[in-house]
Structure 1
Amino acid sequence: MTITAAADGSALGNPGPAGWAWYIDDNNWAAGGWKHATNNQGELKAVLELFRATAHVDDDLLVLCDSQYVINAITKWMRGWKAKGWRKADGKPVMNLDLLQELDEALVGRKYRFEWVKGHANHPLNEAADSRARAVSEAYQRNATIPTGPGFVAGGPVPAAAVVKTAAATTPAAKTAPAKIAAPRASADLGLFDFEVERPHTVQVSLSAEELGRLKRRASGRGVSPEELLRDLI
């Protein structure tokens, strides 16, 4: 199946109070923003958060976007920028680097395509995303409550980011006298990381889409998998 969603950004003054939003239907959308940002940042953030929100489903993703900059940045330019150390052909640093690097990570393993739609041309999904992004920018302008939306409800809750298996530690007595089998300790005597039998134990951790994204970025920065990072934390 294919999820069809529109992603859009808004900035009053550009830069100024800014918002982003992605929209699938009235039950599945999200929005956010900043007190001061550009329209391009809002457009990129909308696409990024759409990919994060749908990261736990296998459906293809069709992204409707009225920004040629965003579409070209992701589908044409980003690979070359990355190969040049995130610099453009003229050697100047790429703008919006943080968002582009996060997008580069979020796209890994995903099946997606982009379709350009003309903005403010009564396209239902694009208009819905645009109105929500603008509502956020206006809310920041007025210091009002930010309308964030329900998120990706159709995909169900974000599942456990990883199933972490940790082997029970071998006790010092077993190391010094392997032939001697010690009597098991009562459960009340066990420490947090002591186990009655030496077998792997499963720990499930439920994370929101935003938390999962932060975990992946931190793991990538350390050169380990998200599972390995969680194992170390536990």
Structure 2
Amino acid sequence: MTSLTVLIVDDEPLARARLARQLQKLDDCEMLGEAGDAEAALQQVRELAPDLVLLDIEMPGRSGLELAGALSALAAPPAIIFCTAHDEFAVPAFATAAVGYLLKPVAVEQLAAAVDKARRLSKPQLKAAAASDVQAETTGRRQIKAVSRRGVELVPVESVRCFVADSKYVVAHHSGGETILDESLKELENEFGERFVRVHRNALVAVAYIAGLRRDGGNYRVLLDGIDERPQVSRRLLPGVRSLIEEMV
């Protein structure tokens, strides 16, 4: 297997040293160098042409996000994995076509998974991914990003069977399990209203996966292909849901 060349960019020497130690534990990775700010990093990328950049976001001068934008404009951009102590930058980070977003302190297992993903992307593919992200801004998201202490999870919209509001969170039930989102049900309905229908004040279901209705005592629940979750249908919305199911038959 060809060795993956890596540049570490972080304004904190201790953070760079920790990432370097974690990198040494991974097979087929070669650290080319390190930089403490965006200008030095950009120069090293041009001179060394690394396959991958491990990049902090908050740095003096140009931020990691600004540097990522400059790198994505190169003819052969490196893959980028953000390594940061802050989770609020996930959405703008992925707009730069980053392949990973890890929260400090970075665990070696998380780094290994992100590096494996970067290894599967060639530099031409990374350039195409950047162009695809620009297009997605005008055509709507194909993936929903969720941030937790484990890192960032990307949930394909086409895999979601339903969104259910639970207390102050919204849970996406999808083919891979359940994911807590930091978005309101109303925001999701406004964005994906053509693909999801509201069946209750706390639930949206994917029209494509509706399998029928089932009576549960005095209530009705929607049956969905692929998951066990059965969102309740409110009395007010029941006639519309019935009509929709009849049209699908």
Give the TM-score, by structure 1 length: 0.24
- Greater strand percent: which structure? 2
Q: Whose RCO is larger (CA < 8 A, sep 6+)?
A: 1
Give the TM-score, by structure 2 length: 0.23
